[in-house]
Structure 1
Amino acid sequence: MKKVLQNLPGFGLSLAIAIISYLIAKWWLPMLGGATVALFIGIILGNTCLKQPVLAAGTQFSEKKLLEYSVFLLGATITFQSIQQIGWNGVLFTAIQMSCTIGFAIWFGKRLQFSEGTYLLMAGGNAVCGSSAIGAIAPVVEADNEETGIAITMVNLMGTVLMLILPVIGTLLWHGNDQLRGILIGGTVQSVGQVVASATMVNQSTVVTATLFKILRIICLVFVVSTFGYLHQKQQTKASDVKLSQQLLAKKSSLVPWYVLGFLAFCILNSLRFLPNGFGDFCHFLSTWCETTALAAIGLRLNLKKLFSQGKQLMAYAGGIVGVQVVLAIILITVLF
């Protein structure tokens, strides 16, 4: 009970910001979505009038646990049958696009001397599904709050930029070809909400294609988290003494965290039609609110001074990743479709 009371002020504030953000997005900024609005409101308030220590425990709980719950619930909203509709060319496109995005993000991050946590979170967030991927990856690579906050902020910012410009780029390149425009958006834009919002600016046919390609990227989350967890433990083992190496090896059972296993289990059950009607919609509703509340908490905890201290370098890093994603997607679409 004492822990619940400690978490209540920060959690309550995060939830309140999430509700306000939902209403703002619904009435005035539908293209941005509630999660992005919540992040930016949280950043503004957390760096001005809401810095009280009493909020720290609740915002930390909301940031860590609610993102995990969001990933877990997301599994009930997708099925493996989506891969059949995409076809082998679509699978190949997604595999190359994600692998190259991750590889470039890690290489570029190392060249710019960012921490391991930062470049792995940026790699996963851009390649897979934005905030949800970052929330899933952060615990297995032992990223701290600052690294998580910076990655989520930059990935959401770049996702918003892509959300607005890709419909224009796709139309200029392929005119009325809804499939190719949908592949560009679904294979590149970061979060699910941003994909749907971006594709909606074109038409409903584009939304369907973009969503299918986004779903395939989300399914790959399990493999990305496992791989990043392995890379992190390997790196730690190299840099540690024998005793610490033994401790890390003893932790290998937690290489894939519970929420990723739960995500996979829900995917399987949903693909086999074992889940009741309406359950997926209910999980989507809960997952969206968990993510929105978590992003509000992350915004409240993000220190803008530290973010701005890396400003030019961080923007160059984020912009470089997004630039490579878009150019690579255009090349792959031209070659494969």
Structure 2
Amino acid sequence: MEKITRKHPIRGIRTLVPGVVLSVLVSGLAVVAEWLEVRLTGGAWIEALVLAILVGAVVRLFLRRSEGFDPGIAFSAKYFLEIAIVLLGASVSAAAIRGMGLPLVGAIAVVVAAVLIASYGIGRGLGLSRRVALLVACGNSICGNSAIAATAPVIRADAEDVASSIAFTAVLGMVTVVLLPALVPLLGLSATGYGVMAGMTVYAVPQVLAATAPVSALSIQIGTFVKLVRVLMLGPVVFVLSLVSGTAGGRRPALHLMVPWFILGFLAMLFARSFGLIEAGLAETMGKAATVLTILSMAALGLGIDVRRVLRAGPRVTVAVVLSLGLLVAASYAMVLLLNLATA
């Protein structure tokens, strides 16, 4: 009995190895591809952070038997990212965030609520069921797959509803990461304004890092902070949905799903850096470690995107997600203008 107990953790680790190794290889290919870009063109037109997602998605298409890789891919996408976010908190400019203050946090809450309601209306108007419309609205307005996963048990959505909603938010999120930086010259956005807009429009935290990395370090910091505030909106939204769905037997998810530990860790690092508890040299090292872990997590994120599932999700879900994303981009830009951050 004792031998079985000892071996069990090792067997669990072994199941992770194929996916983790594949994620490392994909991230390595992304870094090499960026290096080749610099050598051939003199600059990195597509950063390794974005290339990791793209390469991962392509590799996933050719994986005949992906089940053996899935545990390690899921582990890499989740835990490498969460650790990276905590480390990133040490390099965030608290002064820049204080300069925007409570008006920014209030604006984020208003935009999230307004877009959620409008996205739900779009889905229902296109004939989607109440559950699918809610999943698309929550995923679009808050944090993509995480919001869908947290909302699904509350509204008693089935596996098919969740799969169709997640398929499009995953692929469309990847497209948004690639195209969003083009808005900087098109709209004349400052690093701060673009960081706010990226944090408001991109679905997942790693995608925010990928979308802001080509612009500036300040955009990364502001974008990450805005995105994490946006993620915190998941708690109140899920709580309200649980009250509304209570009579229908919906289940309220655990508190740690609504307020993830890495957000608390990020804020702790931010405050520690602000009060001088983390030296500049250490903060720089932590920032580099965060970059490495983020590339690894985004390689895993790409490996987790199955483009084939998108083709099975249906045209109405496609239109609902695209229209909702367009609405979110427009609302986010209006928010940037109202806060006078476009050219700050």
Q: TM-score, normalised by structure 2?
A: 0.72
1:71 corresponds in structure 2 to 85
8 Å CA contact retained: 2:196, 2:226 = yes
Structure 1 counterpart SS, 2:278 = coil
Structure 1 counterpart SS, 2:69 = helix
Q: CA deviation at 1:7?
A: 0.8
Residue 171 of structure 2: which of 116, 133, 153 is its match? Answer: 153
Residue 162 of structure 1: which of 168, 180, 204 is its match? Answer: 180
- CA shift digits 1:172-195 (9 cap, x unpaired): xxxxxxxx5445422322313323
Q: CA deviation at 1:44?
A: 1.8
Q: CA deviation at 1:215?
A: 4.8
8 Å CA contact retained: 1:188, 1:326 = yes
- CA shift digits 1:225-247 (9 cap, x unpaired): 4334424544663431xxx75xx
- CA shift digits 1:211-260 (9 cap, x unpaired): 564254145146324334424544663431xxx75xx48x4476423223
Q: CA deviation at 1:326?
A: 3.8
Q: What RMSD in Å do the two structures reach over aligned CA positions?
A: 3.6
Partners of 1:334 and 1:298 in 2: how far apart? 32
* Corresponding position: 1:12 with 2:14: no
1:43-122 alignment to 2 at 5 Å?
Answer: 43-86=57-100, 94=108, 96-109=110-123, 111=125, 113=128, 114=132, 116-122=134-140
The amino acid across from 1:278 in the alignment is G
Structure 1 gap segments, 5+ residues each: 126-133, 172-179, 201-206
Q: CA deviation at 1:13?
A: 0.5
Structure 2 counterpart SS, 1:291 = helix
- CA shift digits 1:147-178 (9 cap, x unpaired): 556423312212322212x134224xxxxxxx
1:192 corresponds in structure 2 to 209
* Corresponding position: 1:283 with 2:300: no
2:7 corresponds in structure 1 to none
The amino acid across from 1:40 in the alignment is L
- CA shift digits 1:109-139 (9 cap, x unpaired): 55553365444233224xxxxxxxx576566
Cα distance, 1:277–1:60 mapped onto 2, change above 3 Å: same
* Corresponding position: 1:38 with 2:17: no
8 Å CA contact retained: 1:140, 1:228 = no
1:315-334 alignment to 2 at 5 Å?
Answer: 315-334=318-337
Structure 1 counterpart SS, 2:171 = helix
1:204 corresponds in structure 2 to none
Cα distance, 1:312–1:57 mapped onto 2, change above 3 Å: same
Cα distance, 1:149–1:73 mapped onto 2, change above 3 Å: farther
Partners of 2:119 and 2:272 in 1: how far apart? 33
Structure 2 gap segments, 5+ residues each: 1-9, 38-42, 154-158, 203-207
Partners of 1:135 and 1:77 in 2: how far apart? 27
Partners of 2:149 and 2:283 in 1: how far apart? 26
Partners of 1:151 and 1:311 in 2: how far apart? 13
Partners of 2:244 and 2:34 in 1: how far apart? 42
Cα distance, 1:37–1:111 mapped onto 2, change above 3 Å: farther
Name which of structure 1's ranges 324-333 and 8-17 shifts more when overlaid on structure 2. Answer: 324-333
> Alignment identity in percent?
15
Cα distance, 1:150–1:333 mapped onto 2, change above 3 Å: closer
8 Å CA contact retained: 1:101, 1:123 = yes
Partners of 2:243 and 2:180 in 1: how far apart? 34
Name which of structure 1's ranges 101-110 and 65-74 shifts more when overlaid on structure 2. Answer: 101-110
The amino acid across from 1:16 in the alignment is L
Q: TM-score, normalised by structure 1?
A: 0.73
Name which of structure 1's ranges 108-117 and 216-225 shifts more when overlaid on structure 2. Answer: 108-117
Name which of structure 1's ranges 45-54 and 88-97 shifts more when overlaid on structure 2. Answer: 88-97
Aligned residues: 306
